[in-house]
Structure 1
Amino acid sequence: MPDRSSLAQDAPSRSDWLGRACQHLASSLGDAGNQHQIQMVVQALPSQSKSTQVQPVFEKVVEAIQNHCTITPYITITHAVSQVMSMDEVPASPPATPNANNSGDDYFNDQTIFTHAAVVPAYHSQSNPQLTMGSRPTNIIAAPSSIHVSILERYIPPTTPQEVNDFFTLSRRSYLADRLLELSSNNGTLLLVYPTRSGGSTFTNRYVGPVIEPFLRQFILLNGLYTQLAATLGQMAAVAAMKSFKEIQEAVTAMCQALSQRAPFRGLPSRYEIVQAETAEVVLDRAVWKDWYIEQEQPRLRQNMVDYHKSGGRMPAPRGQIEVTPGMLAREVIDGVRQSRAEAGNAGLEVGVFVIRRTTATV
Structure 2
Amino acid sequence: MCQLDGADDLHTTSPSPAKPNLDRIVPIVTPPTEPGTFNWGALVNVRTVALGSPPSSDPGLSPNLATVASPPSLGSAPIVVPTIVEASGTAGMEAWTQSVKETLITESTSEAVSSVKILSHALPCPSTTGHLFPHIIAAIHDQSPTNTAWINVFHALPGRFTLSDLPKSPPSTPGPAVGGDEYFTSKVFDSAVAIPDYQLDSKLLPASPRPVVPPGSVNVSIVERYIPPTNTNEYAEMFQLRGRSLLHDRLVELSPHNGMLLFIYPTKTGARSFMQHYLGPILDPLLRAITVVHDLSSELGKSLGQMSSVNYLDEYERLHDQVTRYCSMLSEGGSGDRNSVFTVVQASKEEAVLERTAWANDWWIKQEKPRIRETVNKYFRQVKKLPTSEMTGSHLIQEVLDGVANRKADDIRSESRGVEVGVFIIRRTIPQG
Q: TM-score scaled to structure 2, two decimals?
A: 0.71
Contact residue 209 and residue 245 of structure 2 kept, 8 A: no
In structure 2, what is the Cα distance between the partners aligned to 1:57 and 1:317? Answer: 44
In structure 1, what is the Cα distance between the partners aligned to 2:106 and 2:175? Answer: 18
Residue 362 of structure 1: aligned partner: 432
Corresponding residue SS for 1:281: strand
In structure 2, what is the Cα distance between the partners aligned to 1:65 and 1:114? Answer: 13
Counterpart AA for 1:217 = R
In structure 2, what is the Cα distance between the partners aligned to 1:313 and 1:158? Answer: 30
Matched pairs, number:
340
Q: Does 1:44 align with 2:122?
A: yes
Contact residue 93 and residue 352 of structure 2 kept, 8 A: no
Corresponding residue SS for 1:117: strand
Contact residue 224 and residue 315 of structure 1 kept, 8 A: no
Q: Does 1:338 align with 2:409?
A: no
Gapped regions of structure 2 (runs ≥ 5): 1-81
For 1:1-363, list aligned pairs within 5 A: 4-6=85-87, 12-13=91-92, 15-30=94-109, 32=111, 34-51=112-129, 56-73=131-148, 74-93=150-169, 111-125=186-200, 133-134=204-205, 138-262=209-333, 269-291=339-361, 292-312=363-383, 314=385, 316-319=387-390, 325-342=392-409, 343=412, 344-363=414-433
In structure 1, what is the Cα distance between the partners aligned to 2:86 and 2:191? Answer: 28
1:172 Cα deviation after fit: 4.7
Gapped regions of structure 1 (runs ≥ 5): 103-109
Contact residue 197 and residue 244 of structure 1 kept, 8 A: yes
Contact residue 150 and residue 179 of structure 1 kept, 8 A: yes
Q: TM-score scaled to structure 1, two decimals?
A: 0.84
Contact residue 216 and residue 254 of structure 2 kept, 8 A: yes
Q: Go from structure 1 to structure 2 and tell me whether the alpha carbon gap of 1:332 and 1:59 turns closer, same or farther (over 3 Å shift).
A: closer
Q: Go from structure 1 to structure 2 and tell me whether the alpha carbon gap of 1:160 and 1:271 turns closer, same or farther (over 3 Å shift).
A: same
In structure 2, what is the Cα distance between the partners aligned to 1:135 and 1:167? Answer: 14
Greater helix share, structure number: 1
In structure 2, what is the Cα distance between the partners aligned to 1:235 and 1:325? Answer: 22
1:236 Cα deviation after fit: 1.5
In structure 2, what is the Cα distance between the partners aligned to 1:227 and 1:286? Answer: 27
Q: Go from structure 1 to structure 2 and tell me whether the alpha carbon gap of 1:231 and 1:264 turns closer, same or farther (over 3 Å shift).
A: closer
In structure 2, what is the Cα distance between the partners aligned to 1:312 and 1:165? Answer: 32
1:171 Cα deviation after fit: 4.6
1:63 Cα deviation after fit: 2.7
In structure 2, what is the Cα distance between the partners aligned to 1:155 and 1:111? Answer: 31
Q: Go from structure 1 to structure 2 and tell me whether the alpha carbon gap of 1:25 and 1:46 turns closer, same or farther (over 3 Å shift).
A: same
Corresponding residue SS for 2:415: coil
In structure 2, what is the Cα distance between the partners aligned to 1:332 and 1:159? Answer: 19
In structure 2, what is the Cα distance between the partners aligned to 1:134 and 1:31? Answer: 32
